[in-house]
Each structure stands twice: as structure tokens, then as C-alpha cells.
Amino acid sequence: MTLDVASLGTGNAKRDAHLRSADLLGADDYPQITFAARSAERLDGDDVRVTGQLTVRGVSRPLTLTARLTSATAEALALETEFTVGPDRFGVTWSQLDMMRGLTTVTAALRFTRTAA
């Protein structure tokens, strides 16, 4: 999964510009946030454990998350997840008035499609 940092938005233009600045996500030097899934394991019910590598600001860290399977066909499957991550693990430490302290919640909807080998 690849996310363009320039596409991130909070609904406030001034805050969005600062989010993308070198103080925080550094979009000019690190234009993408990536998650490379390495494995997925079906758990009970519709839950799936996904293990992979999250890269933010050029720093990669392992990440395991639990997602919910929302649809599955022979051609594709879709997952929804919500997880937390500590921005400081990726070098995001700027914090005027403690605006970026603690954990950040990420919500994602993912769709995987089958391709010919």
C-alpha cells in the first residue's frame, strides 16, 4: 500500500501544510508512506492478522495489525482496519503545544485484487 503524503488532509489548509512540512512528515524528502504486507493469517470469524513493514519518513518498522474481512471473491478481497502507531518511532517528534504526542490512529480500507502470475 502506498500513500502520497501530499494527499493527506485534515480539513484545515494551514495545518495540512504544516503536516506535510519537514517539521512533521517531510513530504518533499519523503513523498510516500508505505506498508508492505508480508503475510496474512485468517483468524476467527472475519478477522485477519496482517504482518508487514510500515515506512514513514524513510524509517521502516515492523507492524502487525488485525483487519476485518469485508468481502471476498475469486478476484479480490477487501479488508478494513484501525490501528495506532507512535509517530516518534518514525522520527516525527516536533510537537508545539504537544499536538503530536502519543499515539496516532490510522483507519484504512484495503482492496487486494488477484493478478495473473
Spans in the chain with pLDDT lower than 70? 94-102, 117
Q: Give the dihedral of Cα atoms 3, 43, 64, 69; nearest 10 deg.
A: 10
At 71 the pLDDT is 94
* pLDDT at residue 103 in the model: 75
> Which pLDDT belongs to residue 95?
60
Q: For the CA atoms of the chain, what is the radius of gyration?
A: 16
d(CA 70, CA 40): 15
pLDDT number for residue 64: 95
Distance CA 20, CA 27 (A): 5
> In this predicted structure, what is the pLDDT of residue 96?
58
Domain boundaries, given as residue ranges, for the chain: 2-113
Distance from chain centroid for Cα 95: 20
Please answer whether residues 79 and 70 qualify as being in contact, where contact means their C-beta atoms are separated by less than 8 angstroms: yes
Q: Are 87 and 105 in contact (CB under 8 A)?
A: no
Superfamily of domain 2-113, CATH level 4? Lipid/polyisoprenoid-binding, YceI-like (2.40.128.110)
